[in-house]
């Protein structure tokens, strides 16, 4: 006797160990509908058949009985050690393989490195410079690595690589006599490397040193409190702060009389476009350490700054209106970071 579609649905459902309720939930139908299918009281909608076949791991033709049922292979549980051994054996059987999936910046940097080395090597042969290929190769690598770092962000390591790569490249090619003194080079390298390690350690949020899990679920991690942010508005003043992360704050006050903004090891944007007017003597206190603080100021207001910087910068983008409706006094303190005043 030929098997009906209802019996095939029941057989495949039981093979997968699913109940009628579970199958109905995956299909988005009721359990009564699945029961009617299996009892041959009704048939699945034509739009439901492909979903049924996908769940059962078969084809719609097999489900409708248009072809012989295909052989079903039982799943085999493979331990992690066995899978690693299988991957290792496949790797050993195969040949050598090299893959490099570099980003756009790294690809451009590598291309510039190849062009620089090739060009300088060619020029050294033409102009008879007393420089070997190795004398050109490693300083060029330092120079390109340093420039790559600096183009991405400010880095003491990038500055050191750029300066020393350029210095040794000029010295090896005898283009320009720079007698710095070998006794100063090594201490300078140590100082720049130490500053780079310090800046990177303070800037980057650290990975958790410890973690506690239960049944594969994290219970406690060492970086749960890596980002801290606070914001408040009261009596015409605002107070916002950020540590480790990115944040955007829109100040919406009818009359701005003052405020405080602090940023450390992150990027904080304070938007003053929601303020209708500025009170007389309005003073903003801005503190930025190892981060970036951006002040978005409407052009109808003007900012007058009194800043104190240490290995940092305070820059202005844009211009206010010739006759501003209000003046904001900015008391800024920047250390190893940047404050940007942007007129919008």
- My answer on whether 51 and 5 are in the same domain is yes
- My answer on whether 331 and 236 are in the same domain is yes
13 within a domain of the structure (yes/no): yes
- My answer on whether 124 and 88 are in the same domain is no
- My answer on whether 139 and 76 are in the same domain is no
Residue at a domain's end among 74, 94, 114: 94
**pLDDT, tens only, 153-189:** 666 677 777 887 888 888 888 776 656 555 666 676 6
Higher confidence at residue 90 or residue 267? 267
8 Å CB contact between 260 and 283: no
Residue at a domain's end among 161, 186, 203: 203
Measured between alpha carbons, how far apart are the two ends of the chain, in Å? 80
215 within a domain of the structure (yes/no): no
8 Å CB contact between 287 and 262: yes
- My answer on whether 74 and 35 are in the same domain is yes
**pLDDT, tens only, 11-49:** 888 888 888 888 888 888 888 888 888 888 888 888 888
- My answer on whether 254 and 233 are in the same domain is yes
Map residue 160 onto helix, strand or coil: helix
Identity of the highest mean pLDDT range in 55-59, 226-230, 245-249, 268-272: 268-272
* Helix, strand, coil shares, percent, the chain, to 5: 40, 30, 30
Res. 82: pLDDT tops 80? no
- With CA atoms as reference, report the closest residue to 185 among 130, 145, 142: 142
**Exposed e or buried b for every residue in 66-87, given b needs 16+ CB within 10 A?**
eeeeeeeeeeeeeeeeeeeeee
Residue at a domain's end among 94, 129, 146: 94
208 within a domain of the structure (yes/no): no
**pLDDT, tens only, 280-311:** 889 999 988 878 899 999 999 999 987 766 55
Q: Residue 69: which domain range?
A: 1-94
- My answer on whether 54 and 78 are in the same domain is yes
């Amino acid at each position: 006797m030929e098997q009906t579609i209802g019996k095939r649905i029941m057989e495949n459902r039981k093979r997968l160990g699913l109940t009628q309720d579970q199958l109905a939930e995956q299909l988005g139908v009721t359990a009564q509908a699945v029961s009617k299918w299996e009892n041959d009281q009704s048939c699945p909608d034509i739009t439901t058949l492909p979903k049924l076949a996908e769940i059962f791991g078969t084809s719609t033709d097999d489900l409708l009985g248009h072809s012989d049922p295909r052989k079903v292979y039982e799943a085999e549980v493979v331990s992690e050690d066995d899978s690693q051994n299988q991957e290792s054996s496949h790797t050993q059987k195969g040949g050598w393989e090299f893959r490099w999936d570099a980003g756009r910046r790294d690809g451009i940097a590598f291309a510039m490195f190849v062009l620089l080395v090739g060009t300088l090597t060619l020029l050294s042969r033409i102009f008879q410079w007393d420089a070997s290929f190795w004398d050109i190769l490693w300083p060029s690598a330092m120079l390109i690595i340093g420039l790559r770092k600096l183009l991405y962000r400010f880095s003491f390591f990038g500055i050191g690589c750029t300066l020393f790569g350029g210095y040794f490249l000029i010295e090896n090619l005898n283009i320009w006599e720079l007698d710095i003194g070998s006794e100063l080079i090594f201490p300078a390298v140590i100082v720049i490397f130490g500053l780079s390690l310090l800046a990177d350690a303070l800037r980057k949020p650290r990975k958790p040193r410890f973690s506690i899990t239960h049944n594969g679920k994290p219970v406690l991690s060492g970086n749960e409190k890596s980002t801290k942010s606070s914001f408040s508005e009261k009596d015409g003043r605002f107070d916002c702060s950020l540590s480790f992360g990115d944040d955007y704050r829109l100040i919406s006050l009818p009359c701005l009389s003052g405020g405080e903004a602090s940023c450390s090891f992150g990027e904080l944007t304070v938007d003053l476009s929601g303020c209708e007017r500025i009170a007389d003597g309005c003073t903003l206190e801005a503190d930025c350490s190892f981060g970036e603080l951006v002040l978005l100021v409407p052009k109808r207001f003007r900012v007058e700054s009194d800043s104190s910087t240490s290995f940092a910068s305070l820059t202005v983008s844009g211009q206010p209106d010739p006759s501003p409706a209000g003046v904001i006094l900015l008391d800024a303190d920047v250390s190893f970071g940047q404050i940007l005043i942007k007129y919008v």
